[in-house]
A and B are shown apart, each in its own frame.
Chain A
Amino acid sequence: MRQERNNIFFGIDWLLVLLFLLLVGFGWVNIYAASHSDESIQIFDFSSRYGKQLIWILSSIPLIILILFINTKFFQQFSSIFYIISLLSLLGLFVFGTEINGAKSWYRFGGVSLQPSEFAKAFTALALAKLMSNRKYNLDVKKNQLKAFIIIFLPAFLIAVHDPGSAIIYLAFFFVLNREGLTLAYIIFGCTAIISFIATILVGVKIIIGSLFIIITTYLIYNIYRNNRFLKFNWIRILTTYVLSMFFILTGDYSYNHILKKHQRDRFEVLLGKTTDTQKIGYNSNQSIETISSGKFWGKGFLEGDKTQGNFVPEQDTDYIFSVVGEEWGFIGSSLLIILFIALIFRIINRAEKHANKFGRIYGYGVASVLFSHIVVNIGMVIGLLPTVGIPLPFFSYGGSSLWGFTLLLFIFIKLDAQKSYDW
């Protein structure tokens, strides 16, 4: 047993590592296709994006080794500190941050840019796991629920100030809560809220408030019919429902029209079909849909995608990297990639379920949820089912912070998973 403890590779789920390598490797191939030009032929051309990505990939190896080397108890104990550090790093953006692409989410020093929000995901997951793995913690108690919400919403809120799109994925942590016993009511409530929000944009405040009024009243009448004294006992709740729903719709409408910036509103409207300006506002998603469609079944072949090579899709090496896959690898290639991602998430859930203790399981679910939400939002946007949101595709999109952040996220779990077999 002692021997095994010294071997940092013992107990590692090699399937997860394999999936990781496949994704990173295939990701790099597509970044090469997206960012190469006829002039640069060297793989190690460091002024190009694919060259830089290669550096990030290679430099993540020491990071991986470091993580594997560290004892999991360390992660457990220091999770709160890491969490507070990440909160501070997010706060620090207000003072020291640099604005890139319209979002003040970056630290810049010496030619290197770092995005703290990418690392905050892992640390939030750790903190959540720490909180909820306590034996006395019961998710049915409202006070505990509140604690969990705060852990999730604090970083989300700090990020949302600069970049609302990136903050959305923190909602994914609700999957974790759900797994640990949170009533489905919250999720249903959340979904209803989102649907009402979208409906408000489409149809208008008055119609939605009117419809909600009718629905609540109908429900009320139905219950009174069944039970005459329903009103007497529940009138507070009923009143609150009316007021809150109206308030919610109005706030939603207000924040949509006055807090969201115009280009963000426009993205919604393009998706919902309210605007059809494909030259300016809808240009990105229109181009990416065209590019993906042109790949047909077999794809055009590596480096043969003329839209990719012509740089038609903006951000084609970052947010829209999936369109490169669509054009050059076709239906075959892009479906296989989706299956690869599904396999990754499935494997993580599968391994997480095998943990007897809560910490590993909760953290594992956190990893799976974070990855899942990124994949859904990113690919959904590129194929035109969701509005344009600046979310990277894990392990695929160009970006050092993003790659390191996800590598950190995943390998902490791999380490936790490896050690579980003999620690507890």
Chain B
Amino acid sequence: MKRSFLLYFLVIIIGLVFIGRLFQLQVVRGRSYNPVKTSAVKIKFDFPERGYIYDRNGVLLVANQLSYDVMIVPNEVTPLDTLEFCSLLKISKENFLKRYKKAVNYAPWLESVFLKQLAKEDFAFLQEKLHKFQGFYIQKRIIRNYPIKSAANILGYINEVNELVAKKDNYYQQGELIGKAGVEAQYEKVLRGKKGKKYFRRDRLNKIMGPFKDGIYDSIAINGKDITLTIDSKLQQYGEYLMKGKRGSIIALEPSTGEIIALVTSPNYDPNMMVGRARSPNSVKLIGDTINKPMYDRGLKGTYAPGSPFKLVNALIGLQEKVIDEETHFYCNGGYRYGNREKEFMKCHCDIYGKPIQLNTAISKSCNSYFANTYKRIIEKDKNSTKGMNNWSTHVKSFGLGNYLGYDLPEGDKGLIPNGDYYSKMYKYRWNASTNISNAIGQGEVLTTPIQLANVTAAIANRGYYYTPHVLKRIKNKAITDSAYTIRKQTTIDIKHFDPIIEGMHEVFKTGTANWVNIKGIDIVGKTGTSENFMRIDGKKVKLPDHSILVAFAPKENPKISVAVFIENGGYGSTVAAPITSLLIEKYLTGIVKRKWIEDRMLKTDLSSIYQSQILAPKKFETGTK
């Protein structure tokens, strides 16, 4: 009996080990087994319509069109007539081999993209003959179409999802398209809908055997939601038209809501360039153009010294802090002396000598001395520069400057609004208002983006508050309800202080620096600006033509539109920025432009030669007077 024990014993032991192993595999491991995530199941995706994009008047800006990718599963490919295949796809044999190798490297048993976005004409021919080429399939995709060739910076584009993102994310697969810039990226989840899934049983050779579990795991595609933007495409196009040959940006807002009516950057590009197979070579061209930077939105990201329009903010702060009032006067005499040394003299071009200058005139003639005095009073109010500066900074920031505005586009810049602590860190010696007096006239350390300036103008138009600028108006015909955009943001300036400023701004167009572009019948108010800028060419600081700026809103009572126009190297504000602003406002409020001679002059204005000269020395770009 003892001898037989060995075999009995072994049988029991092995039996237990095996059953234990089965337990480990089937009960423990099997618990996390997802019936759908297995190589025996193949998923076919049904891509829904991506949401259409309309402008505020219902004009179609972005539509869909079909595109076909050629997919490959290398393991299924049998010997084929490569000559015929390559001629159908219009690629060379080397190209074919390169793509084939890439697919094998990715995974020979998985589906991957072989050729993106087949041209429409080629698709029909290929589909007929596709049965001859085992292992190749056609995947239908939705790509975009832009009937109106404008607003590329606002709309953005769609592109293949990044491989790392696709691996981590549960929704996106390799080869799928996702919004990469502008509205397409910002509202990706709204626009993309939900793709449908169909599960199929398949065998090890990847042949479909039938639906998986009679389709109980399947889901249908849900179309993306159409959205309506706040943009007025006619105004947008007009703005881009006027900006030909110039670099810079135009922002137009509706002050009562914060809606962005137009957002122009120049140079720009036709959004259709980023569609289909041309997208890859085109984006290389566009991104590689580091001089013109057509994909760089100057309105959102360009940081410049705000120049003279900033004086309005200083004036408002001066009134609020009660260091000046409407009757306060200063003398100019060609400039303002801020220090004892000879060079410490700030020039002024208001051409008013000997006469006292009050607020209204100071604004309409843009007198530097007046605002330098005002600024000094604000900073030195309590004889403590740091405290005064911090206080001043708080006022300025309440207009939305010095930080991200919070609009619904994925790009932007904070700009820079210094405060007392900033300078205390910067200067090891004692400092006061005279040290940074350039801030008074919008030069110096202050930096803003054009959309920030447009927002300030809207806040003035509203007499003391603003709505965060935004570009989305409706989702599927329902107005937006996000409180970030529907709740007012108050500035620190009382409402009563705005009237004198606005009067001054009105004077600018009546008798001041922009009077030649006044519009009959419309009360335009605004402020011209000239922003100095320098560049180092061959180690020497060279002064370039000033940037031309204008901020304005109209009509004076119940304003409907506030505009900021910024033209790089355009000279005086009144030269280029003012007429463009005026034309835009005329177009928006009346529908047509009557002053054709101004329009012609703007169209003929071409600053390319000035831009060319900057290419000679692509070194650091400086702005400011110091």
Contact = CB atoms under 8 A, between A and B. Distances in A.
Tell me which of B10, B12, B210 has the highest count of chain A C-beta atoms within 10 A of its own C-beta: B10
Contact of B7 (A175, A180, A330, A384): A175
9 contacts: A175-B7, A289-B25, A297-B30, A309-B209, A326-B22, A326-B26, A331-B22, A349-B7, A383-B25
A353 B4 contact: yes
A310 B7 contact: no
Interface string B1-36: 101101110111011011101110111011101010
Given A338-B18, A353-B1, 13 more contacts: A175-B6, A175-B7, A292-B25, A297-B30, A309-B201, A310-B202, A335-B19, A338-B19, A345-B11, A369-B7, A372-B10, A383-B22, A385-B18
A315 B41 CA distance: 20
Contact of A292 (B8, B17, B22, B31): B22
Nearest to B41: A306
Contacts of B209: 38, 309-310
Contacts of B15: 338-339, 342
A293 B7 contact: no
A201 to B, nearest CB: 22
B39 interface: yes
Contacts of A342: 11-12, 15
B204 A179 contact: no
A296 B30 contact: yes
Interface string A347-388: 001000100000000000100110010001001100111000
Contact of A312 (B4, B7, B204): B204
A181 B33 contact: no
A7 interface: no
B26 A296 contact: yes
Interface residues of B, number: 37
B8 A346 contact: yes
Contact of B23 (A309, A331, A345, A369): A331
B30 A293 contact: yes
A392 interface: no
A181 B201 CA distance: 56
B132 to A, nearest CB: 25
Interface string B37-59: 01111000000000000000000
Contacts of A346: 8, 11
B129 to A, nearest CB: 28
B203 interface: yes
B96 interface: no
B238 interface: no
A279 interface: yes
B109 interface: yes
A180 B41 CA distance: 54
A157 B10 CA distance: 26
Contact of A331 (B10, B17, B27): B27
A311 B38 contact: no
A335 B15 CA distance: 9
Nearest to A380: B18
A293 B26 contact: yes
Contact of A372 (B7, B22, B27): B7
Interface residues of A, number: 43
A379 B18 contact: yes
A310 B201 contact: yes
| 10 closest Cβ pairs, A-B complex | A296-B30, A310-B203, A331-B26, A306-B40, A293-B25, A310-B40, A307-B40, A312-B204, A293-B29, A342-B15
Interface string A302-316: 000011011110000
A133 interface: no
A38 B1 CA distance: 53
Interface string A274-310: 0000010000000001101111110000000011011
A179 B25 contact: no
A200 interface: no
A12 to B, nearest CB: 22
B243 to A, nearest CB: 57
B30 A179 contact: no
A310 B109 contact: no
Nearest to B38: A294
A178 interface: yes
A38 B18 CA distance: 33
Contacts of A180: 3
B4 A335 contact: no
A317 B35 CA distance: 23
Contacts of B38: 290, 294, 306-307
Contact of A179 (B3, B12, B21): B3
B212 interface: yes
A349 B203 contact: no
A38 B209 CA distance: 9
Contacts of A385: 17-18, 21
A180 B4 CA distance: 9
A59 B14 CA distance: 33
A124 interface: no
B26 A330 contact: yes
Interface in A51-71: none
B34 to A, nearest CB: 10
B27 to A, nearest CB: 6
Nearest to A368: B7
A282 to B, nearest CB: 14
B201 A306 contact: yes
B88 to A, nearest CB: 31
A384 B26 CA distance: 13
A365 B7 contact: yes
Contacts of A296: 26-27, 30-31, 33
A121 B585 CA distance: 101
A204 B17 CA distance: 29
A249 B212 CA distance: 53
Tell me which of B4, B23, B209 has the highest count of chain A C-beta atoms within 10 A of its own C-beta: B4
A339 B14 CA distance: 11
B22 A335 contact: yes
Nearest to B33: A294
A89 to B, nearest CB: 29
Given A175-B6, A179-B4, A345-B11, A312 B26 contact: no
Interface in B155-205: 201-204
A334 interface: yes
A326 B25 CA distance: 10
Contact of A383 (B18, B39, B212): B18
Given A295-B26, A334-B26, A383-B22, A179 B7 contact: yes
Tell me which of A279, A306, A335 has the highest count of chain B C-beta atoms within 10 A of its own C-beta: A306
A312 B40 contact: yes
A81 to B, nearest CB: 29
Interface string A96-134: 000000000000000000000000000000000000000
Nearest to A348: B7
Contact of B109 (A279, A326, A376, A380): A279
A185 B23 CA distance: 34
Contacts of A311: 203-204
Nearest to B203: A310
A178 to B, nearest CB: 6
Nearest to B21: A383
